[in-house]
Every structure is written in C-alpha cells, then in structure tokens.
Chain A
Amino acid sequence: MDLNYAAADESFRERARAWLQENAPKSPRPAELMAAGAYDRAWQRKLHDGGFAGLNWPKAFGGRGLSVVQQMIWFEEVARARAPALNSTLIGLQHGGPTLIVHGSDAQKAFHLPRILSGESIWCQGFSEPGAGSDLAALRTRGTVEGDELVVNGQKMWTSFAHFADYQELLVRTDPDAKRHAGLSWVICDMKSPGISIQPIKNMMGETHVNMVFYDDVRIPLSNVVGGLGNGWKVAMSTLSIERALAFLPDQIDMLEKVERLTELARRVRLETGKLAIDDDEIRRKLGRLRAETLAMRAMTISNISGLERDGQLGPEGSIAKLFVSTGYKALSELAGEILGYEFLEYGEDRTTNRWTFEFMWSWVLTIAGGSSEIQREIIADTLLQLPRAR
C-alpha cells in the first residue's frame, strides 16, 4: 500500500500541467447552446492536436492508452487549471467510442473513432424513454428491419446536446416478440436523418440542454447496427459499466475545491443571528463532516482505481462511490443554502446567476441520473451483499 506516484506518473502530471497552463481557454464556456457546442469542439480539437485526446482509449485506435492513475491525474490537473470539463464531448469519448472499440465493425471504427477524437463528431445518447428510466429494459422505441434499413419510430428522453450532436448511440427494440433484455439493438443514428425532431426540456434550473427526441420513420442503414441485431443489451451494458467506473471522478475532484470555497464563504457571511457562519457550531460541524467525507471520496477513488488496475474491472464499488459522492454533493449544496440565507433566493434561470443555488438544484440530477440512488442500493444489495431478490 502506498500513496506515491510512479516517476512516469509524476512526469505525466508535469507535462499535463504545463500544456494546460499554455492551452486552456481563457474565456469561459458560453451559456448559449450552439456557441457552447462550437466551444466544446474547438477545445477537443486542441486536446487532439496537443496529444491529450482519448486518454483511456487504446493506442491502436488513436487514443493515449493511459493507466487509470494517469487518467485521474489528468482530471485533477484539468480541475486545477480550471480548464473545461468533458461537456458535449463526453458521450462520444467515454461511451460511444469505447463501445465501438469493443463491439464495432472495422468500418464503423475507421469512420467514427478519429472523428470523435478530433472533435469533428459530437455524440449524444438515446437510451432513456418516458417509460424507461431506471428500468431501461422496458424501452419501447421500435426499429423495424426493412431491406437493408432499420425504420425507427418512438421517443427518447433526457438526450443532452441533441441540437448540435452529429451522431447518437441509440437503443431500440428490434424484436417485439422477445422479452425485455432480448430483442434490443444498439445502433449509430445520424442526427441529421429525416424524421428526427427535437424538443428541448426546460429543467428547474431554467436551462434547456436536455431534450426529447422523436423518431418518425427514421431510416438507418443496417450497417450502423453495432454488435449485431438483438445484442443491444449486452452492448449497452458495456457502455454503462465504463460510465460507472470513472464517471464520478470529476465530481469527486470538484468536491474538494467546493468544500474550500464553502469554507471561505462561511468565513465571510453573517447569519441571521449576527454571527459569522464559521463561528456557528452547527455549521462548523457540518463543514468538518463534509471535509472528512471529501477526503474519504478521494480515498475511495484511489481504492477503486487500485482494484481496477488489479482486476481489470470495477464491481459494485462503482455504485458505492456514486451513492457516496452524490449524497455528499447534496449535503454540500444544502449547507451552502443554509449559509447564504436570503442571497440563496437570488436566482435568474441560469447557472451563472447564482452558482450555489444552481448546485443545490443540480444535486438532484446527480442522485437521479446514471442510475438513481435507489437503483444503486439495489445493485449493492444484489451484487455485493448477495441478498435475496424480490424482482
């Protein structure tokens, strides 16, 4: 057991830090949707040209093939440099691309992988539906084989960045007679296809980057099916396990910094009692607990990375980390609200108007999206504790 970085890791950190200092955008990501998309593409292009694209992808597919430790270092340095996080490029880089690497045909890989790495293609996700969230296998969007095409009809939900995405990882039911997990297929959908319409969903934070996507006789070539017709569940699960392994790393790293910022806030702000927030026993204790939990999140990340390096995969520990991080995030944003008092109420329909109020509302996204807390507890009960099931 040790906490030291290997020499190669230290030198990677130095290189990453120097490059980020030189190249991180000076201007913040624009709030307007299409401008934000252009910003993400430009940043990905820069990462690609600088040799920092596809850090987790094998070298054979144009990636960097970095160890998990070095990926963690990269996320830490991105946070330190206040460089842009993965935004609209996330699905392509962390889900779509890695899925193609495992299950895609040579033609699919040759066409899509370089475009994802360079920022030319932005991908979005088409998994969830109005009646299929936590229970993804309940999805009903149909894909009917007609000749060498799949004709898609139905509706997807919660698709981020659908407006400017070029492709979508789309999960559809291709065999209506097969039960639940069987009969699904994972296909690459060109978002410019006729028959696709997009309707933004305004969320409670006032923002509109997630969408409903409707499919009306959308024709997709059968050559866009990944992993074979009817194998969609298996293909999708490999994507989701990739998501769970490292998805919460940036949130965990952000938490360390947010606790610092909240402590600074508590040293400045007066409560209705007239006391500085930091001098209030209750607030001080909550801050102390958050700092302890934040340190433990990092410890848990190191523990999970160690397990991943040893076993090549992450088990229910991913669900444990997700529950712990999202619960801590919620406690942090609630405490910010408590400290801010009236100022918490100054919010103007966009995150830049009041960062802490935005975080407070965003915390529900973390405890619901990517498998709600209740689903994570089910996964832990099923796989780690091996408890009997009622399902």
Chain B
Amino acid sequence: MNLNLSAEEEQIVTSVRGALARIAPISRFHRGGDARLTGELRAEAAALGWFGLGLPEEAGGVGCGPIEEMLLYREVGRGLGPVSMLYVSLAAHIASLAGDVSLASELAAGVHGVALVVDDPGGGSRIFDPDGADYAFRLTDGDRADLITLKGAKLDARHSLDKSASMAIGDLSQARVVVGCEDASVRRLAQLGAAAMLVGAAEAMRDMIGEYAKLRQTFGRAIGAYQAVRHPISDMAVRCEAARSQLFVAAICVRDARADCDLQLDAAKTLANVAAVKNADSNIQLHGGIAVTDEHDAHLFMKRAQTLSRLFGAERTLLSRLALASAAN
C-alpha cells in the first residue's frame, strides 16, 4: 500500500521533463514554429526510448510498464509535447500484442507517424494527426484495437484547435487493417495516457498561475495576497491532487490487471478532465488580459485540455458508466 514514487520513478520524471524541454520546448508554438510531431522530433523521442517504454524488450522496447508510461505522459502533458506521441506508443503496443515484432520495433524506433481514428457521431471518421502518418489506429467496441494503413486514403483536412496536432475527416471504412488485436490493455493504456497528459497539464497551469501571482502587483501588492486570487489557486491545487492520486491508483490497477481497473480508469479520466478544463479556465481568468494574447502560453494549455478531454473517455460516457457501475465494484 504505497503511492510514493520510487527513486527510479522520480528519475524518469526528471529526465523526461528535462529532455522534453530540450527537444520540444513550449516556445515552439510561438513565432511560426512547428509544434507538431515532426519526423525529426519523432526520431529524437524514439532515441530516448519513449515510444517503446512499455514494450517488451524483444519487441524493441524498454520493458517498463503502465506506471512508467503514465509518468512519461504526465510530463508530456506538463510540457505540451505533441498528443500524437501517445498514438505512436499505442500503435507499437498493438503491433506487439498482435505478434508483429518487426512493425512494433519500427514504431518504437520512430520510423512511422501514427494517427488516431474515431467515429464521428455525425457519420464518417474523424482523424487526429494524419499529417505525416503512415498508419492510424482505431479502438472499436469491446477490446478490439486495429492498426490501419492511411496509404491512398482520401482525407479532407480540417483546422485543429491544438496546433501540436492536425485533423481531417474522411471515410476509412474500407481502409486495410495491417495488424490488430483483441486486448483490453490498448484502450486502458490509451485512457491512462490521456488522463496522465491532462493531469500534467493541470499541474503546469497551477504552477504557472502560482508563479505569476507572486510577481504581478495590483493596488500595491502581489495578486497572490488577495483571497479572490489565492483561493481559486488553492482549488486548482485540490483538483490536481485528487486527479493525480486517482491517476496513480489507476496506473497500478492497469499494471496489476485488478478487477476494478476499468472503474478506476473511468474515475481517473473524469477527474483529469475536470482538473485540466477547470484549471485552464482559472489560469486564464486569474492571469487577466495577458492570458488571452497569442504570445502567452495559457491558451495553449486550454486548447490541449479541450482536445484531450474529448479523447478516450468524454464526460457523458464516463459519468454514465460510473453511475451504473455495480455496487460489487
């Protein structure tokens, strides 16, 4: 019974945080930079072992598990690394679980870009991050996870709110499945990774406004001395702590394949959604005018929160499942 990070786990956090700030600093969003997962960035992340972190060594991976992947993606969320890094990791898991070791190794080595395909409630498919992607992955009812090829697919490009991603719509119903598997661990790792990125982002926003509140002066004192400012920041900290604790519990449940794993994951994603979306609101509001300018980072986190809160568990689905979860859980 222990939720403390071990020395090795702390080490992962520190090294990922430092490396991400070097290879994909948040400043890349500004002044015409490319915030997406470019081929170059993919190669650098692969060299750090990130895409194969949770893969077995025989599939070109590092041999760690869900805890380490959760810690990695929490840092990716904190530093606004591209969301599609998670898609590459998940595609490698699909290939590995399907027994295609060579494809898994290529994915872990950052050779391929990977997109995410979801059903659009209005019909057709919505594709997240198709730019430069060779494959896309799709989670369907139950535990089915497929990797499909995007070669020759006719996609209709759309704008993307989060500039670290691209977006398209199209009909992928006839797309060829390259590999696939029937394994709950893919959707679980997807939900865990998305929740982790949201928690990291929520924590970054708490820290961003916390620092600013010490510096910015109004009416002769730092704004952090006013209860109208410090109390909402305290609430941001409460949301972070609740979401982080639940995220850690969910990660352990995934690793140990505990019976209540899906329930714990749904709770983790729910709290992560709330923490990131609400902290994004407070962060902008408490910063004041500067936060609605393009040059500030606050809107980047808000856009990230809006994106990730819709993926791998949106509010309505999660809350309905949680409400109807049997007492046996």
Contact = CB atoms under 8 A, between A and B. Distances in A.
A381 B231 contact: yes
A318 B249 CA distance: 19
Interface in B1-54: 1-6, 9
Interface string B264-285: 1011001100000000000000
Contacts of B225: 387-390
Contacts of B324: 278, 284
Q: How large is the interface on B (under 10, 10 to 19, 20 to 34, 35 or more residues)?
A: 35 or more
B67 A323 contact: no
A179 interface: no
Nearest to B242: A296
B237 A306 contact: no
B310 to A, nearest CB: 16
B248 A299 contact: yes
Residue from the set B67, B230, B252 with the largest chain A CB neighbour count within 10 Å: B230
Interface string A289-307: 1011101111110110111
Residue from the set B243, B318, B319 with the largest chain A CB neighbour count within 10 Å: B319
A299 B3 contact: yes
Contacts of A387: 210, 213-214, 222, 224-225, 230, 233
Contact of B327 (A2, A263, A374, A384): A263
Given A292-B271, A302-B249, A324 B231 contact: no
B319 A377 contact: no
Interface in A248-289: 260, 263-264, 278, 284-285, 287-289
B238 A320 contact: yes
Nearest to B240: A320
B224 A2 contact: no
A306 B2 contact: yes
Given A3-B1, A278-B323, A295-B263, A374 B243 contact: no
B319 A260 contact: no
Contact of A306 (B1, B244, B246): B1
Contacts of A1: 2-6, 9, 67, 248, 251-252
B249 A284 contact: no
Contacts of A297: 242
B4 A307 contact: yes
Contact of B237 (A291, A295, A384): A384
A264 B326 CA distance: 10
Contacts of A6: 1
Contact of A284 (B3, B235, B319): B319
A226 to B, nearest CB: 33
Interface in B213-245: 213-214, 221-222, 224-227, 230-231, 233-235, 237-238, 241-245
A299 B323 contact: no
A69 B1 CA distance: 8
B321 interface: yes
A317 interface: yes
Contacts of A26: none
Contacts of B1: 2-6, 9, 69, 302, 305-306
Contacts of B159: none
Contacts of A293: 242, 271
Interface in A363-391: 374, 376-378, 380-381, 384-390
Contact of B246 (A5, A299, A390): A299
Contacts of A305: 1
Given A317-B241, A380-B234, A291 B322 contact: yes
Contacts of B315: 285
Interface string B190-227: 00000000000000001000100110000001101111
A296 B233 contact: no
B214 to A, nearest CB: 6
B95 interface: no
15 contacts: A1-B6, A1-B9, A3-B256, A3-B258, A263-B323, A285-B315, A285-B320, A288-B322, A295-B246, A323-B234, A378-B230, A378-B234, A385-B237, A387-B214, A390-B221
What are the 6 A-B residue pairs with the smallest beta carbon separation, nearest first? A288-B319, A387-B224, A288-B322, A299-B245, A288-B323, A381-B230
Given A303-B244, A324-B238, 19 more contacts: A1-B4, A1-B5, A1-B9, A2-B2, A3-B258, A260-B327, A288-B322, A289-B319, A291-B322, A300-B246, A320-B237, A323-B235, A374-B227, A377-B231, A380-B238, A384-B234, A385-B233, A386-B210, A388-B225
